[in-house]
Amino acid sequence: MFGFPLSLSNHELYENCRDTVFRCGNISAGFPFSGGQRVSECGRHGLELRCDNNNNTTTIVISDIEYRVLGIRWDRHILKIAREDLIKYDGLCSPQIATRNSVLDSELFSPGPSYANVTLFYDCQSSISSRNLGFFPCDNAGSTYSNVSVGIPNNIQPKGCSANVTVPILRSSMEGSLNSSLRLKEALNKGVEVQWNWKDNKACGKCNDSGGACGFFGPVENQTMFCYCPFMFENTPDDRQCHRVVSSSSPTSSARESESESKSKSKSKSSLNLIFIGIHHKVWFFGSESIFLWRH
Examine the domain organization and report whether 73 and 202 are in the same domain: yes
Domain boundary among 126, 156, 181: 181
Same domain, yes or no, for 132 and 103? yes
Same domain, yes or no: 205 and 68: yes
Q: Is residue 261 a part of any domain in this protein?
A: no
Domain co-membership, 71 together with 127:
no
- pLDDT tens for residues 240-282? 889 988 765 544 444 444 454 454 444 444 444 433 334 343 3
Q: Does residue 61 fall inside a structural domain?
A: yes
Residues 95 and 177 in one domain: yes
**Are 54 and 103 in a shared domain?**
no
Would you state the pLDDT for residue 246?
78
Is 279 a domain residue? no
> β-strands 109-111, 115-122: how paired?
unpaired
Q: Looking at the structure, do residues 100 and 233 belong to the same domain, yes or no? A: no
C-alpha of 120 from chain center: 31
- The neighbour count for residue 266, using CB atoms within 10 Å, is 10
Q: Are strands 65-73 and 241-244 parallel, antiparallel or unpaired?
A: unpaired
Q: Residue 255: what residue type?
A: A
In the predicted structure, residue 109 carries a pLDDT above the cut 60: yes
CA gyration radius, the chain: 32
Query: What 3-state class would DSSP assign to 228?
Result: strand
Are residues 158 and 101 part of one domain? yes
Shared-domain flag, residues 172 and 96: yes
61 shares a domain with 110: no
- Taking residues 116-129, what's their average pLDDT? 79
Instruction: For the chain, give the mean pLDDT.
Output: 77
Task: Answer with the residue of higher pLDDT: 287 or 51.
Answer: 51
CB 166 within 8 A of CB 86: no
Indicate the DSSP class of residue 210.
T
Within a domain: residue 174? yes
In a domain, 113, yes or no: yes
Q: Is residue 6 part of a domain?
A: yes
- Give the number of domains in the chain: 2
Identify the domain containing residue 58 by its residue range. Answer: 1-77+198-247
pLDDT in tens, 146-199: 888 888 766 667 788 888 888 898 888 877 777 788 888 888 899 999 999 877
Instruction: Identify the pLDDT of residue 113.
Output: 79
For 226-242, the pLDDT digits (tens) are: 999 998 888 876 768 89
Query: Could you tell me if 102 and 176 lie in one domain?
Result: yes
Of all residues in the chain, the percent with pLDDT exceeding 70 is 72
Whether residue 61 is found in the same domain as residue 133 = no
By mean pLDDT, which of 14-23, 52-61, 199-208 is the weakest? 199-208
Is residue 141 very low, low, confident or very high in pLDDT (cuts 50, 70, 90)? low
Residues 60 and 81: their CA atoms lie apart, in Å, by 9
pLDDT at 114: 84
Q: What is the DSSP letter of 65?
A: E
